[in-house]
Amino acid sequence: MEKIRVAIVGWGNVGRFCKKALESSPDMQLVGIVRRPESIGKDTSELAGLQVVSDIETLDKVDVALVSIPSREAPDKVKELILKGIATVDSFDVHDQILATKQALNPLAISHKTVSIFGAGWDPGTDSAIRAILKVISPIGQTTTTFGGTTGGRSMGHTAAVKAIPGVKDAVSLTLPNGAGRHKRQVYIELEPGADFEKITDQIRQDPYFIHDATDVVAVENVKRFDTMNHGGRLERLTPDIQQTYTIEGINPLMTANVMVASARAAYRAKELGQYGAFTFIERPIIDFLPGEFEEKLEGY
Amino acid sequence: MEKIRVAIVGWGNVGRFCKKALESSPDMQLVGIVRRPESIGKDTSELAGLQVVSDIETLDKVDVALVSIPSREAPDKVKELILKGIATVDSFDVHDQILATKQALNPLAISHKTVSIFGAGWDPGTDSAIRAILKVISPIGQTTTTFGGTTGGRSMGHTAAVKAIPGVKDAVSLTLPNGAGRHKRQVYIELEPGADFEKITDQIRQDPYFIHDATDVVAVENVKRFDTMNHGGRLERLTPDIQQTYTIEGINPLMTANVMVASARAAYRAKELGQYGAFTFIERPIIDFLPGEFEEKLEGY
C-alpha cells in the first residue's frame, strides 16, 4: 500500500508532536518540514535527516499538509495551500469562527479539487464529535464543557494569542475550571524592557480568546516555572433519564497532534473519493480517521 | 421541509421508546407500526390513533423502518425490508457478527438502492463511535468497556436470548461489572410448568451471549421484582500520556431508541446522496445524525 505523504507546516510544540505521531503511523510518511525563511537552519539537531524548506512546492509530492502554526495565522496559510491543490489539516481553535471558516474554505477547496479538515484538534475536534454523540443519545438537554482537567491546564491557543502581543517576551496561559462550564484564565507574562503592563493586561482581557472569562494577568521574571504541557477537559450531559460524562487529560500538543495525523488520513480518503471541500471533524465518517484495513477498523466495534 | 416518514417494526420496549423519540423529533413522522399478524389488535389503548399493520407495504410511503425486534431476528427482517427498497435501522448487538452482517447486507442494500444502518444502539453503536474516537486521540493502548453502570443493568439482548429458550416463561438478565472489563451475568427466570431448570441453565451458559462470562441462573416465581430499565457502561483508555473515560447511564431502551431515531436521519441522508449500502454507526458522518440545518448542527462545535 502506498503511504500517505505528509508535510508538517510550522515547528512548534504541535509540529514536534506531529512528527512523533507520524513515526508511529505505518501508513504515513513524513516528507519534510515547512518553516518561515528566517527559521531555516535552526533546530538542526532535532531536524537532522529531514528536509526543511520554506516553500512546500520544493518538497516531493505532498498529499497532506499538517498546518501547525498559531490558530489565527492558520486560515490564511490553509488557503494558500488549497490554492496549490494540497490537502490540509489544522487544529484552528476559535469556536465561534468555525462556520465562517467553513464558508470561506469550502468553495475554495471544491474548486481546487482538494480537501481541508479544519478545527481538528481535541477541542474543537474530537470533543466536538463527542458533544454531537452525547446529543444523539440524549437529544434534549445541555452539554457543559469544563477545561483544565483536575488541576488546570495550558491552553496553546490562549498562550499563542498572548505571545503575539507586542511587548510580551514570553507567556503561559493556564485554564482553570470555574464551575458550571465557566473558566478562569491565569496568564503569566514576561515583559520586554519598557513594555506597559497595564496596557498589555487590558489588551489580553479585550482579546476574543479571553473576553468571556475572568482573567488574571501576572508579570513574572520567567514563565517557564509556570509552564506545563498538560491540559484536559470534562464534558457532561446530565438529563433526568440519561447521564453521560467524558473526561480527557494528557499532554496537550500530543493529543492535538494525534488527532491531526488521524485527520490527515481522513482528508486523504476524502480526496481519493473525490469528496472535495473543507470539513469539520464531524462531517467525515469516524472510520476514515482509523488506520488499517476495513476489518481492523471494525475491531472492538 | 418534508418530514422523514418512519415505521416502527416491533412493539417491545425499544419500539415504544422509538415512538417517544419520534414525537420529539420535528423532522420525523411516524407512519405506522408493523407487528406480527397474531399481535394485531393487542395494546389498543397505547396504539390508539396509529396505523398498525402486519405488512409494511400497506403503509403509505415508508422512508425508514426502525427494526426493534430481538437482535437475532433482526438481520432476516432487515434483509426482507431491503429487498423492498426500504431503508432500515436496527440495534443488532452481537459484536462478533458485525463484520459478517456488513458483508451480508451491504451488497443487497447497494443492489436495491437503499441504506441500512445496523448495530446502531448505544453499544454497539454510539459507544463504538466513542471507542474509535478514543483511539484517534490515543492510538496506542487498550480500551476497556465495563457494562452495568454503577449498580448493574438490564441487558435487552441477553434478556431476549433467554426468553427465546423453550421452557422459559419470562426472564431478566442483569449485567454486573466484574473488574478489568469482565462481566458477571445474573439471570432470573420464570419456568414453564415441567421445564428442566438444569437443562435450561446449561443452554443459557452455552449461548454465545453468555459463554464468555460467569453466569448465575436463578429460578424465581416472578421476575418482575428483579426488573429494571436502567443500564450503563464505562469506557476507559488509560495510557501513560493520555487518559480518557466515558460513562453512560440511563434508561436502556430510551438510549437505544434515541440512537436509532438519529440513525434514521443519517440513513435517509445517505439515501438522498445515493450512498447506498449497509453501514455501521462509524461509517456515516456524525453530523448526519443531528437534526436541523447545517448551522444548527455546528452549534456548540
Cis amide leading into B177 (omega within 30): no
* pLDDT over 90 at A226, yes or no: no
* pLDDT over 80 at B223, yes or no: yes
Q: How far is A179 from chain B (nearest CA, A)?
A: 18
- pLDDT recorded at residue B84: 97
**Residue A250: phi, psi to the nearest 5?**
165, -165
Averaged confidence pLDDT in chain B: 95
* pLDDT over 90 at B226, yes or no: no
* pLDDT over 90 at B260, yes or no: yes
- Contact status, residue B191 vs residue B183, Cβ threshold 8 Å: no
* Interatomic CA distance for residues A13 and A16, integer angstroms: 5
Strand spans (E) along chain B: 4-9, 28-34, 52-53, 64-67, 87-90, 115-117, 143-147, 153-154, 168-177, 183-191, 214-219, 230-238, 242-251, 277-279
Residue with cell 426488573: B227
Percentage of the residues of chain B whose pLDDT score is greater than 70: 100
pTM of the model: 0.93
* Interatomic CA distance for residues A166 and B186, integer angstroms: 66
- Contact status, residue A142 vs residue A240, Cβ threshold 8 Å: no
Q: Do A301 and B130 touch (CB under 8 A)?
A: no
Instruction: Place A155 in a pLDDT band, splitting at 50, 70 and 90.
Output: very high
As given in the structure block, the three cell numbers for residue B247 are 460513562
Q: Do A98 and B298 touch (CB under 8 A)?
A: yes
* pLDDT over 80 at A151, yes or no: no
Query: Which range is most confident: A79-93, A167-181, B139-153?
Result: A79-93
Q: How far is B50 from chain A (nearest CA, A)?
A: 24
* pLDDT over 90 at A272, yes or no: yes
Of B180 and B274, the structure prediction assigns the larger pLDDT to B274
Q: Do A282 and B291 touch (CB under 8 A)?
A: no
If you measure CA to CA, which chain B residue comes closest to A118? B301
ipTM exceeds 0.95, yes or no: no
Nearest to B283 among A133, A262, A287 (CB): A287
Interior/surface letters A189-224, b for 16+ CB within 10 angstroms, e for the rest: bbbeeebeeeebbebbbeeebbeeeebebeeeeebe
Q: Do B126 and A136 touch (CB under 8 A)?
A: yes
Nearest to B128 among A21, A295, A301 (CB): A301
Residue A51 to residues A8, A56, A264, Cα–Cα distance (Å): 11, 11, 20
Q: Do B137 and A122 touch (CB under 8 A)?
A: yes
Burial of B15 (0-12, 13-18, 19+ CB in 10 A): buried
Q: Do B286 and A282 touch (CB under 8 A)?
A: yes
Considering only the C-alpha atoms of chain A, give the largest distance between any 2 of them, rounded to a whole number of Å: 62
If you measure CA to CA, which chain A residue comes closest to B295? A99
* Interatomic CA distance for residues B248 and B232, integer angstroms: 5
* pLDDT over 80 at A1, yes or no: no
CB pairs under 8 A between A and B: 168
* pLDDT over 80 at B178, yes or no: yes
Q: Do B301 and A280 touch (CB under 8 A)?
A: yes
- pLDDT recorded at residue A95: 87
**Residue B218: phi, psi to the nearest 5?**
-125, 125
Cβ contacts of B191 within 8 Å, gap of 6 or more: B167, B168, B169, B197, B200, B219
Which H/E stretch holds residue A301? none
Q: Do A301 and B295 touch (CB under 8 A)?
A: no
Nearest to A137 among B242, B258, B280 (CB): B258
From chain B, pick out residues whose CB is under 8 angstroms from the CB of A289: 132, 136
pLDDT tens per residue across span B113-155: 999 999 999 999 999 999 999 999 999 999 999 998 777 889 9
What average pLDDT does the segment B85-107 reach? Answer: 95
Instruction: Place A12 in a pLDDT band, splitting at 50, 70 and 90.
Output: very high
What average pLDDT does the segment A199-222 reach? Answer: 95
Q: How far is B65 from chain A (nearest CA, A)?
A: 18
- pLDDT recorded at residue A152: 81
pLDDT tens per residue across span B184-217: 999 999 999 999 999 999 999 999 999 999 999 9
pLDDT tens per residue across span B146-160: 998 777 889 999 999
Q: Do B280 and A287 touch (CB under 8 A)?
A: yes
- pLDDT recorded at residue A179: 81
Nearest to B280 among A129, A130, A298 (CB): A298
